[in-house]
A and B are shown apart, each in its own frame.
Chain A
Amino acid sequence: MSINVFRQEFKMNSKSVATWSVAIAVLILVYMALFPSVAKDAELLNEMMANFPEALLTAFGLNGINLSTVPGYYSFVFLFVQICLAIQAANYGFSLVSIEEREWTADFLLSKPIGRTQILTSKLLAALSGLTLTNAVVWISSLGCIEMFKGTRTYETKPLLLMLASVAIFQLFFLSVGLVVSLLVKRIRSVTPYSMALAFGMYVLSVFGDMLGENTLEKITPFKHFEPRYIVQHGAYDLPLVLFSVSVIVISLVSSYMLYTRRDIPAMA
């Protein structure tokens, strides 16, 4: 790790980190602000929801969720937080090294007296620091908003903390998968389509898995590995799936290092 590269990368990323963090905090605030009124009419709402087609409820992650409890309602909010986090982390992953090749700055950086392993480590740590800041914002705004809007309700904190604790691994999954994909393709012209495809693709996979019943394909998506509903219902992680998530991360990172150190940096034709 090289401190000057880290600092440079972190600085270049800081605006994006700030934007995402604020956006997610606002999202949490707005949704949680609705909690008191939703919880008040929970009876009514639960009744109404029972009449909705199951597929629709599944699509919005509402199946089997009791919106009148704090963890239940928060798990519904958390799903949207997860989607945002997925896009953000995938963005950073896809652009981590591809941006230098797209904007032709790789020649500058790689002709300096620094090895590629060091460059990649510095860049990864800078991206992770940004994601960790966003993660901290998620913790603070979640706990703060819950405190603000829970009223007199008491709740179990364990599922809540488990959900929040999953954020780091969840981010790392999208960061590392984005990175390895960006190194497998020859050139990424624009990052957004890739990160949108990865984030929403994974989300859709998890929804389809729910709709179609048991499905092995759904197991590859982190939206399943850290499914808020599962955590609330069981008060625990689905451990094999979490381990699967971690192994995908490890494999992606190891392959990224191998691919990057062997990569031919394209020149302008």
Chain B
Amino acid sequence: MGVIEANHLTKYYGKARGIIDVSFQVEEGEIFGFIGPNGAGKSTTIRLFLSLIYPTSGSATIFGKDCIKYGPELRKEIGYLPSDVFYYERMRVIDLLKYSASFYHKDCTKRMHELAELMELDLYRRIEDLSYGNKKKVGIVQGLLHQPKLLFLDEPTAGLDPLMQRKFFQLIREENQRGVTIFFSSHILSEVQRLCNRVGIIKEGRIIEIADIRTLQQNNYKKIRIEASNLDASYFDLPGVTNLEHHNHTVRFFFKGDINAIMRRISGIEVSDVTIEEPTLEEIFMHYYE
């Protein structure tokens, strides 16, 4: 049973598209990356899981229970860090965190102080005096202090400096090792690549790929670069070749298919250099978005 199951989730805001027919599963204990550019429907999907908004059609379950019907009960075990963090401006950080903790019927004080110390958060300042990055830290502490079993992180690193980002990733990994399932939405691929086991790629409201990071990188595309004199780019224009570029004596392209076909082509000419690499997630991603 998946921790999260989305079944044909569709959301329209009036006539505006939110997401269309989104289905996927997230298994217990995994870090699931959810990638797509701004406006693709990442936040919409997360907000549907939290029943902040209601689907036009389709449904979703969390821990096997309908996320609308059992919303309040399910949210006891959910931590949420929204992409834009806003809190009651006139409150002090400590009061906001205590208010947040008061919704969970357990003592969160110890964890709250641990997290605040780790994130170097000043507890006695007013929310309105905080910078965006510091508000984000409040969001992180607020989303984790009740030790949830499932975490929704919506573009969590925006506004954090690189040092904090590293601490934050470390924190997420530790949580994950404790068995916490993590749903990580981002448009920054390198961080998804560093952290996640599996990714879902969303484009214009639709899921276009769900795969292991590994398979995505390995089984799909090769990035090939060939150096030779007297090269004709069209020589490599085979089925499966994309992004063919020609610069001076160098040809670059992506290839998907039987690698032997390319090897035979290469062996047919005099080359001075050849590299065949795994593309980065970034490059795969750009490919999906062309």
Q: Measured between alpha carbons, how far is A199 from B90 in the docked complex, in Å?
A: 28
Q: Measured between alpha carbons, how far is A139 from B103 in the docked complex, in Å?
A: 37
Chain B interface size, as a band, is 20 to 34
Residue from A112, A118, A265 within 8 A of B75 (CB atoms): A112
Within 8 Å of chain B (Cβ to Cβ): is A214?
no
Contacts A113-B75, A113-B76 given: A265-B52 contact, CB under 8 Å? yes
Contact A113 B72 (CB under 8 A): yes
Interface residue ranges of B237-263 to A (CB < 8 Å)? none
Q: Measured between alpha carbons, how far is A115 from B82 in the docked complex, in Å?
A: 19
Within 8 Å of chain B (Cβ to Cβ): is A47?
no
Within 8 Å of chain A (Cβ to Cβ): is B21?
no
Interface residue ranges of B266-281 to A (CB < 8 Å)? none
Contact A264 B86 (CB under 8 A): no
Within 8 Å of chain B (Cβ to Cβ): is A216?
no
Determine how close the nearest CB of chain A comes to the CB of B11; give it in whole angstroms.
9
Determine how close the nearest CB of chain A comes to the CB of B19; give it in whole angstroms.
13
A-B interface pairs (CB < 8 A), number: 64
Q: Measured between alpha carbons, how far is A115 from B73 in the docked complex, in Å?
A: 9
Q: Measured between alpha carbons, how far is A111 from B77 in the docked complex, in Å?
A: 11
Interface residue ranges of B96-127 to A (CB < 8 Å)? 99-100, 102-104
Measured CB to CB, the nearest residue on chain A to B90 is: A12
Measured CB to CB, the nearest residue on chain A to B50 is: A111
Within 8 Å of chain A (Cβ to Cβ): is B235?
no
Within 8 Å of chain B (Cβ to Cβ): is A254?
no
Determine how close the nearest CB of chain B comes to the CB of A165; give it in whole angstroms.
35
Within 8 Å of chain A (Cβ to Cβ): is B78?
yes
Q: Measured between alpha carbons, how far is A114 from B146 in the docked complex, in Å?
A: 15
Contact A12 B80 (CB under 8 A): no
Contact A267 B99 (CB under 8 A): no
Contact A107 B103 (CB under 8 A): no
Contact A264 B53 (CB under 8 A): yes
* Cβ–Cβ < 8 Å partners of A268 in chain B: 84
Measured CB to CB, the nearest residue on chain A to B44 is: A267
Contact A115 B86 (CB under 8 A): no
Contacts A4-B103, A106-B52 given: A111-B75 contact, CB under 8 Å? yes
Q: Measured between alpha carbons, how far is A118 from B54 in the docked complex, in Å?
A: 18
Measured CB to CB, the nearest residue on chain A to B76 is: A113
Within 8 Å of chain B (Cβ to Cβ): is A155?
no
Within 8 Å of chain A (Cβ to Cβ): is B159?
no
22 A-B pairs in the complex with CB atoms less than 8 angstroms apart:
A103-B88, A104-B86, A105-B86, A105-B88, A107-B47, A107-B80, A108-B87, A108-B142, A110-B51, A111-B82, A112-B100, A112-B103, A113-B73, A113-B74, A113-B75, A114-B75, A118-B72, A264-B54, A265-B47, A265-B53, A267-B43, A268-B84
Q: A4-B103, A111-B75 are in contact. List 14 more A-B contacts (CB 8 A).
A: A104-B86, A105-B87, A106-B52, A107-B80, A108-B87, A110-B50, A113-B72, A113-B76, A114-B72, A114-B103, A118-B72, A264-B54, A267-B43, A267-B44
